[in-house]
């Protein structure tokens, strides 16, 4: 009986330690969340870039560790190819996407509901 109790303790301890040891290994992977200070946003007017699809208005680039991570000339999550109506709208969206990258919410997609709550879709018809 005593041997069974100690064996159960060992098994329980092994079952507890196995996931904990795996979590430590996973946390050592390099992710965008580990480079928070290295995320940079650049807003641009779409008439300053050459693109195969012409967007009016503004877009944004997000850099992680000084490398282009996202180039977004238009409003994401909508069916039309339209740029942001204001630089402020592009900035708000880029900040949301940068927040998602920094917090390892990948892919850093955005929904129309999120854009609407930011006030980005106010100019759309």
| pLDDT for residue 14 | 52
Q: Residue for token digits 């300053």?
A: 48
Give pTM, 2 decimals.
Answer: 0.66
| pLDDT for residue 17 | 46
| pLDDT for residue 54 | 73
| pLDDT for residue 125 | 59
How many C-alpha atoms does 119 have within 13 Å on its Cβ side? 6
Using CA atoms, how far apart are residues 87 and 97, in angstroms rounded to an integer?
Answer: 15
Measured CA to CA in angstroms, residue 53 lies from 3, 49, 50, 80, 81 at distances of: 73, 11, 9, 11, 8
Q: What is the pLDDT of residues 15-63, one digit of tens each?
A: 554 444 443 333 333 344 444 567 899 998 887 556 556 778 899 999 9
| pLDDT for residue 29 | 36
């Amino acid at each position: 009986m005593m041997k069974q109790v100690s064996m159960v303790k060992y098994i329980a301890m092994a079952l507890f330690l196995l996931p904990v040891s795996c979590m430590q290994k996973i946390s050592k992977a390099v992710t965008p969340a580990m480079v928070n200070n290295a995320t940079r946003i650049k807003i641009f007017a779409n008439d300053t870039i050459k693109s195969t699809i012409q967007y009016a208005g503004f877009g944004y680039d997000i850099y992680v560790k000084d490398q282009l991570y996202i180039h977004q000339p238009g409003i994401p999550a909508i069916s039309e190819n339209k740029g942001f109506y204001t630089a402020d709208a592009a900035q708000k969206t880029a900040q949301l996407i940068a927040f998602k990258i920094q917090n390892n919410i990948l892919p850093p997609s955005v929904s129309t509901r999120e854009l609407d709550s930011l006030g980005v879709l106010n100019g759309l018809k």
